[in-house]
A and B are shown apart, each in its own frame.
Chain A
């Protein structure tokens, strides 16, 4: 058991920090510190391309596809330095962390060549089309339908239905969807995984205004939406397997970067508490200490998860990670408001919108819902982690 990084890794850390800070103090100064996922989308696409131009876009990928074959430790270090330098979140995180790894794991060589270089280069922004109005926690009940049309050799998938909570669809180029391609099937059987271009008459995107006034999520309407037959990942009917494989990537290295942005949020609360005197309140001190402990434990939980090599065992740290960080961050938003007091409930903006901490308070209510609600997480932990009987299914 060893926590320290090697001297070579520490050198790599310095290299990452130097480059990232240089960018954030220079050409990309204007985007430094942005915490919303939707601010300045065009500049942030340029940032994706700048990362790619210097081979920092997806360092864990194979060099052949634009990565660096980086070790696990290097990926951890880059993710930490990225957030530490105040670099805003990746507008193409779904492409880099979900679509790319899915294509690497399940795609054909031809599909890898078609999609991966442009994802790595920041030219193709992806979004995820999983949830539907009738398929939220019960994701396998998707009703969107797809079928093949056209002559042999020039066939296309034609898809009809509606997706919802499509994060960043309005600035994306491609969407991956799971859709029912076998008539009469129910549940996880008969679903397929398709990559679809967004810029086509059959796809309409409508923003969903959220409780913080932002509109990061969308409704996506598919009306005879089309993609070539070879945009299918895996075989027809394998969509569920691929979607579940993809969700496992969500618990990867990116969590360490996410934690550094949590670090920035907690630091901002600490500064606010010092500035307004609540740092002297013993109850606030206890809560800040608890938040600090929770954040540190998240880091070491993630390092345990990443150090786990025996994948035949249920990894408790991985299984409990989502509910752990989501609940912690929701609590952090509440702590922020208790520190700010009523000053956190007003601002001088003309339009409805919020600075980091009040926005954290509002936005973090989504954390315990998306990607599997806390209730669903508890079911999964009880069933997979503790071997308890499964919920009855209708």
Chain B
């Protein structure tokens, strides 16, 4: 038992944090927001120069090995800058689904290009999907970065296919999205041909579990950034002749943010570690982390606006980037009441 980063994990954290802080600047993110919500140069640099894109993907599938703890470290660092990247959909969900459930041919054809950033994948899920052989009819109104995708991993609750985004029968409509750093598209498959993964259940399970941890880690990074930025502001801003951070009403609100964030940190790394160690708690931990960390993020982002006063409500200030991302993380991948209901089922038995 040693619930702290080891030397390698500390180095990954430093490298990732330095990379995103330097490169995922507000200016670049805003430029991406005005287009398709992806900073493509940043994505290419991240995938090809930093050497961290293969983390969490097994080495035999062409990844860098390591586990969800290391993946969470990277997601946390990216989340702290609200980086406009397809990391969650393309790497954490799609590449992982293919790596764990794809055929050898699918792995060989797709993974190198997904890990290098040359192609982007997006994850489409429709529980009501109908398949006639491998001809698919499905719709998902909220496909993250769907309009930028070259390829989709399409899943129902029991099947998984790869579908080319340009294939016949595929329609993709980009939606104006509140969080412009991860815009949604409405994807419809109307008799589109899919290539089935070899083991859909394993693919779906790996994609979802990793996604819960990654979105929680991203939320943790975002929440901590909201706190850090607000603390800095509270030391600069003077009213009534004092730094506003010296008022107890203000201090206590910041303290409450820290109390929540410390718990979110425990949640994220507990979930990542439990999954890597295949502990009995892993399932509960992932639901707990997703619900707790994303709720924490929203609370901190909301408080960031409140504690900045008028400037926090402007387009110019970055607070709204965090606030909108935070809101999106709460609803994405199953809302938090659903995640808590899963936990209630585990400890109370299924709902009547």
- Evaluate contact between A301 and B347: CB separation under 8 angstroms: no
B237 at the binding interface (Cβ < 8 Å): no
Task: Bits for A287-314, please: 1 = Cβ < 8 Å to B, else 0.
Answer: 0111011101100110110111100000
B208 at the binding interface (Cβ < 8 Å): no
- Evaluate contact between B351 and A282: CB separation under 8 angstroms: yes
Q: Shortest beta-carbon distance, A138 to chain B, in Å?
A: 15
5 inter-chain pairs at a CB distance below 8 angstroms, sorted by A residue, are A1-B6, A296-B284, A382-B254, A386-B231, A388-B245
* B271 and chain A: residue at smallest CB distance: A300
* A285 and chain B: residue at smallest CB distance: B344
- Evaluate contact between A309 and B4: CB separation under 8 angstroms: yes
B110 at the binding interface (Cβ < 8 Å): no
Q: Shortest beta-carbon distance, A352 to chain B, in Å?
A: 33
Please, how many angstroms separate the alpha-carbon atoms of A378 and B260 in the complex?
A: 12
- Evaluate contact between B251 and A1: CB separation under 8 angstroms: no
Size class of the A contact interface (CB-based, 8 Å):
35 or more
- B242 contact set on A, CB distance < 8 A: 389
Tell me which residues from 211 to 262 in chain B have a Cβ below 8 Å from any Cβ of chain A.
227, 231, 234-235, 242-243, 245-246, 248, 251-252, 254-256, 258-259, 261-262
- Evaluate contact between A385 and B5: CB separation under 8 angstroms: no
- A5 contact set on B, CB distance < 8 A: 1
B69 at the binding interface (Cβ < 8 Å): yes
Residues of B within 8 A of A (CB): 1-6, 9, 69, 227, 231, 234-235, 242-243, 245-246, 248, 251-252, 254-256, 258-259, 261-263, 265-267, 269-270, 273-274, 277, 279, 281, 284-285, 288, 291-292, 337, 340-341, 343-344, 347-349, 351-352
- Evaluate contact between A2 and B270: CB separation under 8 angstroms: no
Tell me which residues from 139 to 155 in chain A have a Cβ below 8 Å from any Cβ of chain B.
none
- B349 contact set on A, CB distance < 8 A: 274, 279
Interface of A is mostly: helix
Query: Can you add 16 more A-B contacts, CB < 8 Å, to A1-B6, A320-B258, A379-B251?
Result: A2-B1, A2-B3, A3-B3, A3-B274, A270-B348, A286-B337, A286-B341, A288-B347, A293-B343, A300-B267, A301-B262, A316-B261, A316-B265, A379-B252, A381-B258, A382-B255
User: Which residue among A300, A319, A383 has the maximum number of chain B CB atoms within 10 Å of its CB?
Assistant: A300
- Evaluate contact between B258 and A2: CB separation under 8 angstroms: no
Please, how many angstroms separate the alpha-carbon atoms of A300 and B256 in the complex?
A: 19
A391 at the binding interface (Cβ < 8 Å): yes
- Evaluate contact between B258 and A316: CB separation under 8 angstroms: yes
Q: A304-B4, A316-B258 are in contact. Are A289 and B251 (CB under 8 A)?
A: no
Q: A386 touches which one: B5, B258, B274 (CB < 8 A)?
A: B258
Please, how many angstroms separate the alpha-carbon atoms of A293 and B252 in the complex?
A: 23
- B266 contact set on A, CB distance < 8 A: 297, 300-301, 304, 317
Please, how many angstroms separate the alpha-carbon atoms of A381 and B260 in the complex?
A: 12
A323 at the binding interface (Cβ < 8 Å): yes
- Evaluate contact between A378 and B340: CB separation under 8 angstroms: no
Please, how many angstroms separate the alpha-carbon atoms of A375 and B263 in the complex?
A: 19
Please, how many angstroms separate the alpha-carbon atoms of A269 and B112 in the complex?
A: 52
Task: Bits for A157-182, please: 1 = Cβ < 8 Å to B, else 0.
Answer: 00000000000000000000000000
Q: Shortest beta-carbon distance, A295 to chain B, in Å?
A: 10
- B340 contact set on A, CB distance < 8 A: 285-286, 289-290, 293
Q: Shortest beta-carbon distance, B238 to chain A, in Å?
A: 11
- A297 contact set on B, CB distance < 8 A: 263, 266-267, 270, 288, 292
- A308 contact set on B, CB distance < 8 A: 4
Q: Shortest beta-carbon distance, A7 to chain B, in Å?
A: 13
- Evaluate contact between A288 and B344: CB separation under 8 angstroms: yes
Please, how many angstroms separate the alpha-carbon atoms of A391 and B251 in the complex?
A: 10
A58 at the binding interface (Cβ < 8 Å): no
**Which 4 interchain pairs have the tightest Cβ spacing?**
A382-B251, A389-B246, A289-B340, A285-B344
Please, how many angstroms separate the alpha-carbon atoms of A319 and B262 in the complex?
A: 9
- A293 contact set on B, CB distance < 8 A: 267, 288, 291-292, 340, 343
